[in-house]
Structure 1
C-alpha cells in the first residue's frame, strides 16, 4: 500500500532540477522567483480576506472570496514548482493546478455577469444634474420664504380694517406653509439620496478597479454618439502606451492593431453595435518597441436611444504568453507528425490495452497492411498464434 502511494506521488520521474542540469544559478533563479510569486499571491489573498472581513457591507462579497481562493491556489502551484525541483511529485502538482483551473474558471464565470450591474450605477453627469435640480429647488424655496414674509407684513397692516381678507389670507398662508414644508421634506430626502448615490458610486468604482487589477484586465468606455472614449491605465499598458500619453480614440486604437486582424475585429464591433449585443475577439497590437502582443477583448452595448446604440463598454486582457504557448505546441505537434510519417523505419503508437492508435506508412509497407486495417486493432491480431 505504501509502495502504491509512493508510485502515485513520485512515479518513475526525476526531479525538475535535472532539467536545469542542477546549475546553481538557474535553480536559484526559479526557486526565488516561484517563492516570491507564491508569497505575493498569498499576501494579495490575505489582503482581500482582511478587506471583506473589515467591510461586511461590501457588495459582491462572494466574488472577493472567489478571487482570494483562486489567488491562493495560484500561489500553491508556484510553491509546488519549488518542491518539484527536488521531489518529483508531479501528480500532486498537476492536481493542484487542476483545482486552480476550476476555481479560476468559476471565478471568471461569476465575474462576467456582474459587470453590467456595476456599469449600470449612476455616473457623475447624472449626479451633477440631480444636484443642479436641488439648487433650483432651494432657490424656489428662498423665493417662497421671501413672498411669505411680504404677505405676513401686508396682513399685519390690514388686520384691523380688512378682517375678511385676513381670514382668506390666513388660509392662503397655511397652504403656502404646507407647500414649504413639503419642499423642505423633499429637499432632505433628495439630499440623502444624493449622498447615498455618491457613496455607492465611489465604493463600486473602487471594487471594480480592484477586481480588474487583480485579473490584470483593462476597461474601456466608448460613447458612440460623440466618439469619445475612456481607457483605464491598464488598457493603455496593454496597448503598449504609457498612461495619459495618447488620445483615447478609435483611430489611436486602430493604428496599433495588426492589419490582418483589424478587418475581422472591426466587423465584430460593428455587428455588436448594429444588433445591440456583445462581442468577443482576439487580435494583435504593435507596441512602441515594434513587438507584437496578443489581446483578448470583450465588449457590450449598455445604452440605447430610439433603437440606436449609444454606449459600448468592455474589457481587454493581454494573452501573449498563452498565445505563444499555444502556437509553440502546434509547431511541436507538426514537427512530431513530420518525423513520424517520414521515418525510415516502421513506427507506431499503442494505447495501454495494446491497440494501434497511430502507424506510419513504413510500418504498413513492412507488415503488408493499410493504416485503416491496423488502427484500433490489437497488435496480437496480426501475430501468428500457433505454438511452434
Structure 2
C-alpha cells in the first residue's frame, strides 16, 4: 500500500534529494571514494525517499507501474523454471550452455523489474544498479555465446526436412523389414541360418533357422548352450580345431558334419565361419552359417553307394567280356586254322560247297571279333593327346590314297584356318583315312569328285575339322539314327563293311569330342569333327 503522507519538512527534503541540489557535492568526491561509498552503502536507503515521494505519483499511476513490474517479474521467474524443467527431462536437447545463459538472463531481468516495484517502498537504488550491471554482463555473454553457435544452429535441419527424413526412413524401414522377412523365409525354406559370437562379451546370436535346425524353441536361452557338444565324433574335434585356428590366426572354415538335435535326431549340416575385425585389426566377432544338408547328403551317400555298386557291375561285365572275347576268339582262330588245313580237292562237290560256307562264316566271325576287340580297346584305353599338325597328318594320309585319287580323278582341296590341334595322331590318321576312303568309295559317277578338307574355330571357339564331298550322300531321314552303328551300310557295295564310321565316332568320343553329319542323297555329305581341347 502507499505510505502515509509526509510532513512539509520531509517533503522539502525529498524534493532536495530527488532534485539536482545534491549533484555538486557527489561530483566533488573522487572515483575511488564514490566506488567505496557505493559498495559500503549498498543497502543504505537514507539518500533517497521511496519512489512514491520522488515525483507526483497518483495512486492509479503508481500501482499500475508496480503491478506491471510484478507481473513481468513473475513471468520472468516462471520461464526459467520451465526451461530448467525441460533441460532436466530432455537431456538430449543441444546447446545446454546457451539454455542456462538464457535462464540467468531472464531471471536477472525479472529481478530488475522486482527491484523497480520494491523501490516504491524501499529505495535501494545502489542494489538495483548492481543487479542491472550483472544483468548487462550476463546479457553480453549471452549475445556472444549465441553468436558463436549460430553456424551450428543454421546447420540444424528444419521441421519439414526432419519430416521428410522421417518419411524416407519409414520407407527404408518398411523395405528393410520386407527384405528381412524374405530373407528369413528363404532361410527357413532353404534351411540356412546365421549365427554370431562376440569374442569380447562372449554373447551369442542365432537366427530362427538355426534354432529350427537344432530343434530348439525360439525363447530358449543359448548363453550357456554349447552346440559343439551336439556335434558327433570325429567331426567334433575337427570343428574345435577350426574354431581355435579362426581365433588365433583368423582362418575361415567350411565343413560338413553331423549333429544330434534336441529331439535326438542325427542330421548332416554344413558349417561355415569367418572372423570379423575392428578398424584397429583386432578380432571382435566370429560369424557364420549353418545349413541343413541332411536330405542332400543322404541322397549323395545313396548315389555314391549306387555308383560304387554300378562300377563293380561294370567291372564284372568287362571281365566277363574279356573272358568271353578271349575264349570265342580262340575257338574262332582254331576254326580258321583247321579250315586252312582241309584239302578241299579231296571233298566231293556237295561237301566242298558246305565247307566253303563254313569257312566264310568262320572268317566273318573272326573279323567281327577283331573289330569289336579294337573298339573295346579304344574305349577302355584312350590314347594320350599330343600337339599335331593338320596339314602334316592330312598329307601323310593323302599319300596313301595317291593312286586311288588319280585313277578316280578326285580333286582334294585343303583349307587350314587352324593349323594345330591337341589330339592323338594315330586317331587323326584313322579318322582321315576313313573319311577320305568313304568319299572316294561313294563318289557320284555323274560328277567330278571333289573333297574339301577344312579346319576352323566355331562360335564356341572349339576347333572343327570338316570333310565335305559331292558324292552319293545319305538319306538321313531314313538312316540318321544308325549312321554310326557297327556294320551299318547304306549303299550296295560289296566292299562296304560298316566299321569305319563306328570306329571314327568311338575314337572321337574317347577324347571328349563329337561328330556331326549333314547329307542329302545325290548332293554329298559333310562330316564335322568337333574337338575337345
In our comparison, the structure showing a higher alpha carbon Rg is 2
- Name the structure where helix makes up a greater proportion of residues: 1
Q: Smaller-chain TM-score range? A: 0.3 to 0.5
